């Protein structure tokens, strides 16, 4: 129970926290897996200096808790045939986020979508083979979704890698 509010914490988490508390070993595991999600548990354990059993248990706990959501390959979009990248900013009608987002998930070439605060409602990362396809995605597919009011498209000329996650 929280000594201030008298309310018991949910799932063993301190009151007011939305995520589990991760220790230094958990963060080291996340850094290693973000760099190479294919490494064996044995290699992971050696790199973070814990036993294989401990490493395995921690990866399982992080996965079960939703901290690790999957393992994937990093793909170079241009080399995979998606050489045109743009951020598409949308304004939508009020209270239609769930309906609009469900339909936008079916639009081809939308890689990422986020509900944001500010001058726009939704920000999407779109990767297409060329500008003509980008035009078709925005004008034909996105504008066809009921509830989409306006779009603004920001063409990306060059992308630069940032720091690795969790460094």
Q: Hey, what CATH topology would domain 10-64 get? A: Arc Repressor Mutant, subunit A (1.10.10)
For domain 84-156, which architecture applies? 2-Layer Sandwich (3.30)
Q: Are residues 164 and 31 in contact, defined by beta-carbon separation less than 8 angstroms?
A: yes
**Model pTM?**
0.74
pLDDT in tens, 61-117: 999 999 999 988 888 999 999 999 999 999 999 989 999 999 999 999 999 999 999
For residue 102, the SS3 value is helix
Q: Does 10-64 match 84-156 in CATH topology? A: no
- CA triple 14-15-16, angle to 5 deg: 110
| Domain boundaries along the sequence of the chain | 10-64, 84-156
Taking the C-alpha atoms of residue 17 and residue 3, their distance in angstroms, rounded to an integer, is 15
pLDDT in tens, 4-48: 434 344 444 455 556 678 999 999 999 999 989 999 999 999 999
């Amino acid at each position: 129970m929280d000594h201030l509010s008298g309310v018991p914490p949910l799932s063993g988490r301190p009151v007011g926290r939305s995520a589990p508390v991760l220790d230094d070993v958990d963060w080291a595991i996340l850094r290693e897996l973000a760099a190479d999600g294919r490494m064996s548990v044995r290699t992971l354990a050696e790199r973070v200096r814990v036993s294989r059993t401990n490493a395995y248990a921690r990866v399982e706990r992080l996965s079960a808790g939703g901290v690790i959501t999957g393992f994937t390959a990093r793909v170079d979009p241009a080399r995979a045939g998606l050489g045109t990248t743009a951020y598409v900013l949308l304004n939508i009608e009020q209270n239609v986020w769930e309906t609009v987002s469900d339909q936008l998930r079916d639009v081809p070439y939308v890689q990422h979508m986020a509900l944001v605060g500010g001058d726009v409602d939704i920000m999407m990362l779109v990767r297409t083979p060329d500008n003509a396809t980008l035009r078709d995605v925005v004008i034909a597919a996105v504008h066809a979704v009921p509830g989409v009011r306006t779009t603004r498209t920001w063409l990306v000329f060059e992308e630069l890698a940032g720091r690795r996650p969790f460094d």
